[in-house]
Amino acid sequence: MNVDIIRFSRHNDKYGKLVPIEAEDSVPFDIKRVYYIYDVDRDVRRGFHSHVELEQVLICVSGSVNILVKTPEEEKIIPLHDPQEGLYIGPMIWREMYEFSRDAVLLVLASDHYKVEDYIRDYSLYEELAKKYFLENKK
């Protein structure tokens, strides 16, 4: 599955902790967009889509959240709670986000601008396209 945990370097000193993120170095793409999700109720489940080309890195900079990543063949649940850790999600991966803690802030780094046409929101369509994609790309 084209999903990976990235461990960022961290600078600790008596003043606190700092995690720098450099495009094309700490994350494997040029960052074109940043957004963050917060103030999410505990019972909310969101996401429910895949992207055709977009790559993203999800960082839970505060609190905790669970991320479900899925392909037609595999499914993983990745709990995020460490601001030093990023979850890389490549193209054609279905994702759902749930159990946001009250204080959760999920920061997302994206390889492209917001493009509605890059979203697949219908799971059966996703399955069909993903089977073809993984056959061709053997990932």
Does residue 114 interact with ligand TYD by CB under 6 A? yes
Among 3, 8, 26, 49, binds ligand TYD (CB under 6 A): 49
Please identify, using beta-carbon distances, which residue of 16 and 36 lies nearer to ligand TYD: 36
46 binds ligand TYD (CB under 6 A): yes
Contact 53, 112 (CB under 8 A): yes
Query: What is d(CA 37, CA 65) in angstroms, rounded to the nearest whole number?
Result: 11
Q: Cβ closer to ligand TYD: 13 or 39?
A: 39
State the Cα angle at 64 between 92 and 8, rounded to 5°. Answer: 70
Query: For residue 133, which phi and psi values (nearest 5 degrees)?
Result: -60, -45
Q: How many residues make contact with ligand TYD (CB under 6 A)?
A: 6
The binding site for ligand TYD (CB under 6 A) comprises 33, 35, 46-47, 49, 114
